[in-house]
Structure 1
Amino acid sequence: MTEAPPDNPYVRDPDTEFVPTGELTEAEAREQADRLREAIRYHDYRYYVESDPVIADRTYDDLFGRLQELEDAFDLDTDGSPTRRVGGEPVDELEAVELIVPLLSLDSSGDADDVRGFDERVRREVGEDVQYVCEPKFDGLSIEIVYLDGRYERAATRGDGEVGDDVTENVRTISSVPQRLRGDPPAVLVVRGEIHMPMRAFQAHNADRVEQGKDPFANPRNAAAGSLRQLDPSVTAERPLDCFFYDVLWASEESAPLGEIGPDDDGASTGADGVAGLDSHWAEHRALPEWGLQVNDRHELVDDIEDALAFRDDLMAERDTLDYEIDGTVLKVNDRAQCRRLGTTSRHYRWAYAYKFPARKEETRIADIVVQVGRTGRLTPVALLDPVDVGGVTVSRASLHNQSEIADLGVGVGDVVRVERAGDVIPYVSEVVEDHSEGYFELPETCPVCGSEVERDGPLQFCTGGLSCPAQLKRAVEHYGSDSGLDIEGLGEEAAGQLVDAGLIENSVADLYRIDAEGLAELEGWGERSAEKLIDEIEATKSPSLGAFLSALGIPEVGPTMATDLAAAFGSLDALLDLADADDAEAEIRGVEGFGPTVASHVAEFFRNERNRRVIERLCEAGVDPEPPAATNAGDELDGLTFVFTGSLAVTRDDAESLVEAHGANATGSVSSNTDYLVAGENPGATKREDADDEGVPVLDEGEFASLLADRGIEYPPAT
């Protein structure tokens, strides 16, 4: 057991009733801050490395908060302080850095005979006296971390094995990555670890995302990777990431700056030559915790390959009880001298092998059931699953549709269920395989977002809060700016939620047109340039086509195609509003091709609803004037081509889309491998340009677009 720092009052049973900072001298504040840092580092070690905390989480939070308070009040130097974990300043992009030691991959197989073949090759090359270190193969994100003179210096992702992304500030926010090592570490220490998101934390984080109307992460690995690559470290700090360390890549007793460390040009060294006690991988497992670096407790030293195979089978049997995702085990030749003799290929280590698990199939556990509130107010229960492979796709959520379906299945939290994919696409729970819950899950009587009463309409349940419910308003704004709406670049899920939370949008989507750039620029993550760009994007939607406008309103069951058909059938917004008041409204709407009784009822009810009519009225007052569909002479000059438009053009984006569609082309809102051209006007969106680069899609400026049309006998800009 590691000894606690002597005479530190914040180690055991600390008093968290602190004297107000205003009553402290600067010297007293500095002394208290030093003791708090020392204690917090000790508590981190007890929690992550020894798994034996001596204080409660809440007490730890009190100590951490007090340290932050002191550093802020007295402007204390925070270099190396645990509080650096709260995140630094956002960056424009992650910089690429050359790794100190190449991070190679592992040769792997799920066949025991292949693993035996690996063992035969190893013994043939280095002799019969071989031991293996067996450890879990974590399903996370590999990371290289550098410590100089015991202090955290740099972190980089694996990247292509030679060059990775500099994620120093993001990794700094992870509590299990110490800012300062313990004991007597080498002067230079380069270690490899695995960033991951623990299973319980993953499910809790996904539950929060679903309740906020966001898509959950597919699996813990995606969650960890996405969190680590955030441009804003404060976002990473909010994600429940963890790290296991398992390899010393390079070590030296001689201090050296970052640019002068690493293996010789011949790359022959395994990285720990000359450092006492690091002559084997097993020794590393003993040394890493002494320096305060967390290692996984499930590892074993074996002399025989059959014992290594048994280790994998035993760990696979425990897999579902672990709080982290693994997809196999790793076997490493223990002796570093033997590792040097075996060497590497251009891609993988010849002294290590991964014995993979088979993919999880179809049956899994329901970790939680959360209720999502849609933009129409409908409550949808969503099952959060332990990730499972279904038809080659990892599934971590499944809709339970409604209360009647839940009751029919008898499904509750903790049950093991069979998951299938409807039409090989949409995941759903088909049956309960093992019942571990009491009764079945029941939807709440009040909205989980706003607390309004929930009313039942047949098998469905709806929040009665309307747009006063933040969930409905956020989703309405997000949909309005989406590809299925008016395609407002920069108005995605996060931005929509931020605008509502900040009170810039209070009542309806019409508030979008009243946002000013100055107020927007004050929000976290925004600046003058990005704020002005979004305002310009919003302004550019004031003359949408009627079809795009109807789709943006979010009429239930009416997507872009049906909205366009509706616009073509009735010709104007006023006609639709007038029609809603007619007794035969639904019959008239059913006359539009593809509109059955259910959809016709939704459309008529939408335009009868006074709340919706007020939103439309406010949009018109804000200057939105939907343009009726123009009569077109459908041609085929652009038949088979697909265009995407971004930025400001000589005509509205809707007019540009209508023009190419009138001559046989398709116009879509996002770039994909099926896109033929991205047309970029003034101030184009960065996302679409990046997508075009990734997909190899040609980018045309407006002049080149006009020339392309002219070559096909099409006038641009079109004559008015």
Structure 2
Amino acid sequence: MSVADEDEENPYLRDPPTDFAPVAELSEAEAERQVEQLRQAIREHDRRYYVENDPIIADRSYDALFARLRELEAAFDLDHPDSPTRSVSGEPIEEFDTVEHVAPMLSIDNSGEEADVREFDERVRREVGDVRYVCEPKFDGVSMEFVYEDGSLERAVTRGDGREGDDVTRNARTIGSVPQRLRGDHPDFLTVRGEVYMPKDDFQAHNRERIERGEEPFANPRNATAGTIRQLDPSIVAERPLAVFYFDVLDASDLEDSHRDELERFPEYGLRTNDRVEVVDDIESAIDYRNRLLEERDDLDYEIDGVVIKVDDREAREELGRTARHDRWAFAYKFPARAEVTTIADVAVQVGRTGRLTPVALLDPVDVGGVTVSRASLHNPEEIAEKNVNVGDTVRVQRAGDVIPYVEEVVEKTNEGHYELPDSCPICGSPVERDGPIAFCTGGLTCDAQLRRSIEYYASDDGLDIEGLGEQSVRQLVDAGLVASVADLYELDREALTDLEGWGETSAENLLAELETSREPPLPDFISALGIPLIGPTTARELAREFGTFEDVRQAAKNEPERLEDVDDVGETVAETIHEFFASEANAAAVDDVLAHVSPQEADTGVGGDELDGLTFVFTGSLEAMTRGDAQELVEAHGANATGSVSGNTNYLVAGESPGATKLEDAEANDVPILDEAAFRELLTDRGIDLE
């Protein structure tokens, strides 16, 4: 079952409710169903967080689901050995060797409520008497095991499922704060636990570089860290600004009597510790420590989401023991999530495939509608001036549906005036021109950002669907000087491809075969692939149906742009945009170069039947018997409309494999019938449409 299918049945996967009915109001059957849904959802959230590094809910929402599951299992005696409450989350990914940990790397029991912290203290003192606590920041990074034998780094392993993880030693060796050899009078054998993270300032700088290169930025420092440490190429890891804090001994040939003593020895060995660690005598001081760190949180150059309170004495730790999931001698007192108001750390300028410059605010990560975000659109220079937004200002951020968040207003001014877009393109240095509220790079395809995005779009699902030409491979081809235009794709050869890092004979042959297949594309796909502003697959199909050949489309666009307005979905603005595209000498030359290699097929301009007259279809997911584009053309040929989004005017949503969750939700909200592929084909047959 896909995640989208599960969304319909399981309310705890996306935007989960956290206001639960009292346990006493549930029947046993209701409790059993909720427990199963929670277990299923938590496992999926664990997989996304620990394996995919792509969480779909905020940490506090996850904590609420986990707490509810634990509450129900206890109240209805529904404990099970496979429950997430009985095991540590996460699984190693397949690309790395799996290694068993020297000692279990367990979770830390946690809460954001002071009463739970006091309850932890009462239990500890009841079982082992008076203790001192070591208080540490709870880092929001990637926890790892570092094993040293005779002072040399033997291996570095991700936490994984707590019992075994991924051997990422080659990557860890590239991190500056990971010593290859220990210093001083170190134990012969030492295994320490550390947190790999990306400093906030470096994270913002790295994200700015990614945006300006046309790459997707990371959502937050933890995602950036997790994505980096699992790179297969250590040289990529070396280029990214990772750091490590070491905070615990998992095992050693010579153990200290207390945690404080261990931490004091770490710097002697060359192991970096955090300077905010404090030893306190009672829980009141630990709570004060947490509240002070909460106030100082935004001033730190690393992300923390709470503090960890640990029993200092090792003998007392052993006596307290552990559960299957967590050590009983430690507790995390979590911070409340940041909500909506945050600071603009920097502004990056993104260059689109049409040359449009889009300013993007890089934010200190903030929780907005249950999602942690670290960037927000500033739209255009006029809006920046109107809102008087500048770097360093405190702003309120909002989200509209699933789109990128935007800056709603300035809450507190730090710098005078507003941010000004540069006069030259940040990628190619060409002059920037203004067209009303919009700014454009004048470099055209001489601008690497526009070139890369044009090629990516040409090969995308909305273009010619050329497998093997994604963001990373296109960047390689452009940076290597093998491709300086779309037409250059068809000049590639096997030898040049296999000389690139990461390319083998098979991947080179597969791409060349894909390119060969694309030489005679359907006309609608080719029109869409050119990346004409405002022209997507739907309008491209209408143009193809109206004119039949690419040359007829081009001639009408250049010489009779008013004819374009006879096409469905093409108004005066869109017609003028198409005219400007084809009237450009640079675009004309680029298109001619592509046509030297590609022969778009003629389209059927004949009028089809009217069996589906008056109906509107939306398609999502992949179909087995035909492509989604073919299905859209089929229904349109028989009188129906095919649109890209669900509304109250939609008659049917056809959902194939891996459908989009948003379209499914919109269909349910508008009472639109959802058809699988078999039901869709049955509908066509019932309407007298021959599918053979």
TM range (shorter): 0.7 to 0.9
- Aligned CA distance change for structure 1 residues 329 and 666 (closer, same or farther; 3 Å): farther
- Aligned CA distance change for structure 1 residues 424 and 92 (closer, same or farther; 3 Å): closer
Tell me the alpha carbon deviations over residues 206-231 of structure 1, each in whole angstroms, 9 at most, x when there is no partner: 01001101111110000000000111
Distance of 2:341 and 2:403 partners within structure 1: 17
Q: What is the CA-CA distance between 1:181 and the residue it aligns to?
A: 0.4
Alignment of 1:392-471 (within 5 A): 392-423=370-401, 425-471=403-449
1:351 partner letter: W
Query: Retained in 2: the 8 A contact 1:545–1:654?
Result: no
315, 320, 334: which one pairs with 1:337? 315
For 1:295, the equivalent position in structure 2 comes to 273
Distance of 2:637 and 2:166 partners within structure 1: 45
Query: Retained in 2: the 8 A contact 1:178–1:292?
Result: yes
2:328 partner letter: R
Query: Retained in 1: the 8 A contact 2:541–2:633?
Result: no
Alignment of 1:530-541 (within 5 A): 530-541=507-518
Distance of 1:380 and 1:247 partners within structure 2: 45
Alignment of 1:67-78 (within 5 A): none
Query: Retained in 1: the 8 A contact 2:218–2:224?
Result: yes
For 1:550, the equivalent position in structure 2 comes to 527
Tell me the alpha carbon deviations over residues 44-64 of structure 1, each in whole angstroms, 9 at most, x when there is no partner: xxxxxxxxxxxxxxxxxxxxx
Q: What is the CA-CA distance between 1:288 and the residue it aligns to?
A: 1.4
Query: Retained in 1: the 8 A contact 2:546–2:605?
Result: no
Distance of 1:667 and 1:427 partners within structure 2: 25
For 2:87, the equivalent position in structure 1 comes to none
Query: Retained in 2: the 8 A contact 1:546–1:629?
Result: no
Query: Retained in 2: the 8 A contact 1:543–1:627?
Result: no
For 1:580, the equivalent position in structure 2 comes to 557
Structure 1 residue 358 corresponds to structure 2 residue 336:
yes
Tell me the alpha carbon deviations over residues 9-67 of structure 1, each in whole angstroms, 9 at most, x when there is no partner: xxxxxxxxxxxxxxxxxxxxxxxxxxxxxxxxxxxxxxxxxxxxxxxxxxxxxxxxxxx
Structure 1 residue 383 corresponds to structure 2 residue 358:
no
Distance of 1:392 and 1:336 partners within structure 2: 38
- Aligned CA distance change for structure 1 residues 623 and 124 (closer, same or farther; 3 Å): same
Instruction: Please report the TM-score for the alignment, with normalisation by the length of structure 2.
Output: 0.76
Distance of 2:293 and 2:598 partners within structure 1: 64
Structure 1 residue 192 corresponds to structure 2 residue 198:
no
For 2:164, the equivalent position in structure 1 comes to 163
- Aligned CA distance change for structure 1 residues 124 and 561 (closer, same or farther; 3 Å): farther
For 1:25, the equivalent position in structure 2 comes to none
Distance of 2:151 and 2:642 partners within structure 1: 59
Distance of 1:285 and 1:311 partners within structure 2: 18
Tell me the alpha carbon deviations over residues 362-386 of structure 1, each in whole angstroms, 9 at most, x when there is no partner: 1111111122211111111111111
111, 124, 127: which one pairs with 2:126? 124
Structure 1 residue 518 corresponds to structure 2 residue 495:
yes
Structure 1 residue 619 corresponds to structure 2 residue 594:
yes
Structure 1 residue 595 corresponds to structure 2 residue 563:
no
Tell me the alpha carbon deviations over residues 412-451 of structure 1, each in whole angstroms, 9 at most, x when there is no partner: 1111111112356331112112212232211122222112
Tell me the alpha carbon deviations over residues 674-717 of structure 1, each in whole angstroms, 9 at most, x when there is no partner: 97459xxxxxxxxxxxxxxxxxxxxxxxxxx99x999x999xxx
SS at match of 2:179: coil
Distance of 2:335 and 2:144 partners within structure 1: 23
Query: Retained in 2: the 8 A contact 1:391–1:424?
Result: no
Q: What is the CA-CA distance between 1:635 and the residue it aligns to?
A: 8.4
Distance of 1:628 and 1:574 partners within structure 2: 12
Structure 1 residue 234 corresponds to structure 2 residue 241:
no
- Aligned CA distance change for structure 1 residues 467 and 605 (closer, same or farther; 3 Å): same
> Which runs of 5 or more structure 1 residues have no equivalent in the other structure?
1-90, 253-274, 669-673, 679-704
2:589 partner letter: R
Distance of 1:417 and 1:536 partners within structure 2: 50
For 1:179, the equivalent position in structure 2 comes to 180
Alignment of 1:21-60 (within 5 A): none
SS at match of 1:644: coil
Distance of 2:350 and 2:590 partners within structure 1: 23
- Aligned CA distance change for structure 1 residues 230 and 658 (closer, same or farther; 3 Å): farther
For 1:49, the equivalent position in structure 2 comes to none
Structure 1 residue 569 corresponds to structure 2 residue 546:
yes
SS at match of 2:405: strand
Q: What is the CA-CA distance between 1:247 and the residue it aligns to?
A: 0.6
Distance of 2:94 and 2:285 partners within structure 1: 50
Distance of 1:105 and 1:665 partners within structure 2: 53
Query: Retained in 1: the 8 A contact 2:619–2:628?
Result: no
CA RMSD in angstroms comes to 3.5
SS at match of 2:449: helix
For 2:478, the equivalent position in structure 1 comes to 500
1:421 partner letter: R
Tell me the alpha carbon deviations over residues 616-638 of structure 1, each in whole angstroms, 9 at most, x when there is no partner: 222121134244258667989xx
Tell me the alpha carbon deviations over residues 175-207 of structure 1, each in whole angstroms, 9 at most, x when there is no partner: 100000001211111111111000111011001
Q: What is the CA-CA distance between 1:338 and the residue it aligns to?
A: 1.3
Instruction: Please report the TM-score for the alignment, with normalisation by the length of structure 1.
Output: 0.73
Distance of 1:300 and 1:364 partners within structure 2: 28
Alignment of 1:658-677 (within 5 A): 676-677=656-657
SS at match of 1:581: helix
For 2:287, the equivalent position in structure 1 comes to 309
Q: Aligned pair count?
A: 570
Structure 1 residue 474 corresponds to structure 2 residue 449:
no
Query: Retained in 1: the 8 A contact 2:135–2:308?
Result: yes
Q: What is the CA-CA distance between 1:318 and the residue it aligns to?
A: 0.7
Distance of 1:713 and 1:150 partners within structure 2: 74
- Aligned CA distance change for structure 1 residues 395 and 293 (closer, same or farther; 3 Å): same
Query: Retained in 2: the 8 A contact 1:454–1:462?
Result: yes
SS at match of 1:189: strand
Distance of 1:108 and 1:279 partners within structure 2: 25
Query: Retained in 1: the 8 A contact 2:528–2:536?
Result: yes
- Aligned CA distance change for structure 1 residues 310 and 665 (closer, same or farther; 3 Å): farther
Q: What is the CA-CA distance between 1:610 and the residue it aligns to?
A: 2.3
SS at match of 1:535: helix
- Aligned CA distance change for structure 1 residues 613 and 437 (closer, same or farther; 3 Å): same
Distance of 2:182 and 2:354 partners within structure 1: 53
Q: What is the CA-CA distance between 1:544 and the residue it aligns to?
A: 2.0
- Aligned CA distance change for structure 1 residues 598 and 511 (closer, same or farther; 3 Å): same
Distance of 2:463 and 2:148 partners within structure 1: 50
- Aligned CA distance change for structure 1 residues 281 and 503 (closer, same or farther; 3 Å): same
Query: Retained in 2: the 8 A contact 1:643–1:666?
Result: no
For 1:509, the equivalent position in structure 2 comes to 486
> Which runs of 5 or more structure 2 residues have no equivalent in the other structure?
1-92, 645-653, 659-676
For 1:263, the equivalent position in structure 2 comes to none
SS at match of 1:221: helix
For 2:668, the equivalent position in structure 1 comes to none
Query: Retained in 1: the 8 A contact 2:392–2:414?
Result: yes
SS at match of 1:426: coil
Structure 1 residue 491 corresponds to structure 2 residue 469:
yes
Query: Retained in 2: the 8 A contact 1:390–1:419?
Result: yes
Distance of 2:107 and 2:530 partners within structure 1: 49
Identical positions, percent: 58
Distance of 1:591 and 1:666 partners within structure 2: 18
1:159 partner letter: G
Query: Retained in 1: the 8 A contact 2:538–2:643?
Result: no
Query: Retained in 2: the 8 A contact 1:643–1:667?
Result: no
- Aligned CA distance change for structure 1 residues 609 and 512 (closer, same or farther; 3 Å): same
- Aligned CA distance change for structure 1 residues 579 and 540 (closer, same or farther; 3 Å): same
Q: What is the CA-CA distance between 1:662 and the residue it aligns to?
A: 8.0
Q: What is the CA-CA distance between 1:238 and the residue it aligns to?
A: 0.7
For 1:223, the equivalent position in structure 2 comes to 224
